[in-house]
Chains A and B, each alone.
Chain A
Amino acid sequence: MQEQPDPPVVDPTDAAQPTTVPASLPPMAEDTLAAVQAALGAEHAAVWVYGLVSAFLPASFNTSIAQGALAHRARRDATERLLGAAGAVPRPAEPAYLPPRPVADQAGALALLVTAEQDATVAWRAVLERTDDVDVRETAAEALVEESVRATRWRIAAGIDPATPAFPGRP
């Protein structure tokens, strides 16, 4: 439901600073809010991972890395706008993240990309299970599909079998 009680001063989609967007959506329920903030956290982490891995991958991966990084930045920004529009303060990125295993080579970099995408699928599926809002569900379902596909692409590049779980996003 897109309610706009007052004529908004700034179109949220045009705002450069998500935190200054006037609340144009009803506030989120507590469980929805926590899930969307967690998804934003996963997007921040994914953006960080895409920035880290390129140093360990040959140039043949440049396009895939650039596309994935772009997609996660866009998803992060859209999620910040969504939270801002609902009157919440988007959770900021951490200064750094601790990979499950230190990245020192191509295999480690690909494994970390799989982990980042997988973590994001888990976060967005959790959003789907914690909201009745049609628009939030649509966003979450889109993110779940896109990130499952990218996770699969990285698993194939890493030679990981099977290339997809039967239920992506199931923790």
Chain B
Amino acid sequence: MTPRRSPAVLHRRALLRALAAGAVALPLLSACTSDDAPDGPDPLAALAARAESDAAAATAIAAAVPALAAVAGEVARVRAEHAQALTAEVDRVSPPAGTAPATTPPPSAAPQVPADPAAAKAAVVKALADAEQQITPLVATVPRHRAGLIASVAAACAALQEVLA
């Protein structure tokens, strides 16, 4: 059992609410939280979550659309590796609580697979392009080793779009 409302969580949520209220505070915050223990949510957690959902979507498409089995399977494999590496980096900085199995969210509903192969392919390409876009602005602000990691993830997403082209 994990305590549902530890002071740290409350503090973080309060901070997020304050930030949502005044977006002008953001540049100030990012300027003083460039160390390894950020106060806000780890930006790599969002990248990891996206990689995981991309992998799940690509797996579903590989299974449902035979014409895309090979390429979508390749996307699924690479994005799953991204999710794993990004999660490992998030956990390295802020180790998760020991009761992880109990708090792991249940798997979300099976991803929607477009019936039309062209639409399915377009969906995979768009997901990869979005992932790349999500990373670009972060490269300038994260610590060095993270800059290498996330730029490499963006490069793989760009290369996968070439595979699907």
Contacts and interface: CB of A to CB of B under 8 A. Distances in A.
B68 interface: no
A141 B136 contact: yes
B50 interface: no
Contact of B155 (A121, A130, A163): A121
Instruction: State the main secondary structure of chain A at its contact with B.
Output: helix
Contacts of B45: none
Nearest to A151: B159
A137 B140 contact: yes
A39 B134 CA distance: 26
A9 interface: no
A82 interface: no
B139 A148 contact: no
A126 B161 CA distance: 24
A75 B130 CA distance: 26
Contact of A166 (B78, B136, B154): B78
B148 A128 contact: yes
A167 B77 CA distance: 12
Given A129-B147, A169-B152, A148 B140 contact: no
Contacts of A170: 152
Interface string A51-73: 00000000000000000000000
Contacts of A141: 136, 139, 147, 151, 154
Nearest to A167: B152
Interface of B: 74, 77-78, 81-82, 85, 132, 136, 139-140, 144-145, 147-149, 151-156, 158-163
23 contacts: A125-B151, A125-B152, A128-B147, A129-B145, A131-B144, A132-B144, A138-B139, A140-B151, A141-B147, A141-B151, A144-B152, A144-B155, A145-B154, A147-B155, A149-B158, A156-B163, A164-B74, A166-B77, A167-B81, A168-B152, A168-B159, A169-B148, A169-B152
Interface of A: 121, 125-126, 128-132, 134, 137-138, 140-141, 144-145, 147-149, 151-153, 156, 162-170
